[in-house]
Amino acid sequence: MILSVSRRTDIPNYYSDWFYNRIKDGYLYVRNPMNAHQISKIILSPEVVDCIVFWTKNPEPMFSRLDELDAYKYYFQFTLTGFGNDMERNVPHKKEHMIPIFQKLEKKIGKEKVIWRYDPIIFTDKYTPEYHLKAFEQIAEALSGYTSKCVISFVDLYRKNKKNMSAVNFYSLSEKELAAFAAQIASIAKVHDITVASCAETIDLSACGIEHNCCIDRELIEQIIGYKIQADKDKNQRKECGCVESIDIGAYNTCKNGCVYCYANYSYESVLQNSKLYDVKSPLLCGNITENDKITERVVKSLKKSQLTLWDK
């Protein structure tokens, strides 16, 4: 299986000790976000976990214990944007703090395992296309040699983030303007030997030098683990999303980054309340087991193909 850690919350930043304890104990619990009393027990044996995909804006809290993951294959999706604290309330200063952390992570695990995400791109009176191009160029220059890939996306409106997004007075570009903007992004990245790909976008940017991307990326996973995998498209994601199936172990409204555009953590008051339930020794992230909960062990297995075919050679 592929373990997603996590689309729903920044586990590397805020809950890394919990995650390492779960790796040590060999299992964890995940509450079903669609059925609050349904809990899955997930076995974390290296024999069934083919790859771990980390999603984070700050992996620094994980650094001192990375050796505990030696039995696993993994990569990081590291979000690093040009936004200030008005949009990402609790993310440290990018130039002074986050870029050096990105560079430090690359030195620890290699650039093929650190994907830069300039995501999402939001246009406002402050964060204009010109602003984003300048910020992107500055970050790309700093990350030159530290990553080979950047993933971009344009903000999507959901019911749960619509109110927050309206408050920042965001606006959209026409398709022609968007294509021109994307072409400049690709051109900047190319100067620094970085390939740009888009995430779950309906617009085709291939003419701009930007291909569709998969965050849970079959090709990258196969490269990292050294095996072909048998995995279907993730049916729980949007149709534009090309990610392969994975198991996400996060919980909604538990991320303390405070990003106003986030659909997974749309109520900061709920985040504060839920984070108070965090117990580093609990099998469950930010919560307690109640008498009404039903725990079922989820059947998981390795997705590795056991044998190479003629076409794999």
**What is the model's pLDDT at position 311?**
44
- Which pLDDT score, from 0 to 100, does residue 213 have? 80
Q: How far apart are CA 189 and CA 209, in angstroms?
A: 10
* More confident of the two residues 45 and 172: 45
DSSP state of 312: G
C-beta contacts of 54-57 below 8 A and 24+ residues apart:
54/5, 54/11, 54/12, 55/4, 55/5, 55/6, 55/7, 55/10, 55/11, 55/12, 55/79, 55/215, 56/10, 56/11, 56/12, 56/13, 57/10, 57/13, 57/88, 57/91, 57/98, 57/257, 57/259
Run of H or E residues at 294:
strand 294-297
Report pTM. 0.93
Query: Sheet holding 35-43: strands in order across?
Result: 27-32, 35-43, 294-297
Alpha helix (H) residue ranges in 110-210 = 129-143, 162-167, 175-191
Question: What's the pLDDT score for residue 265?
Answer: 86
Report the amino acid identity of residue 186: A
In the prediction, which pLDDT does 214 show? 80
Residue 305 confidence class, pLDDT cut points 50, 70, 90: confident
- Would the pLDDT of 161 be above 70? no
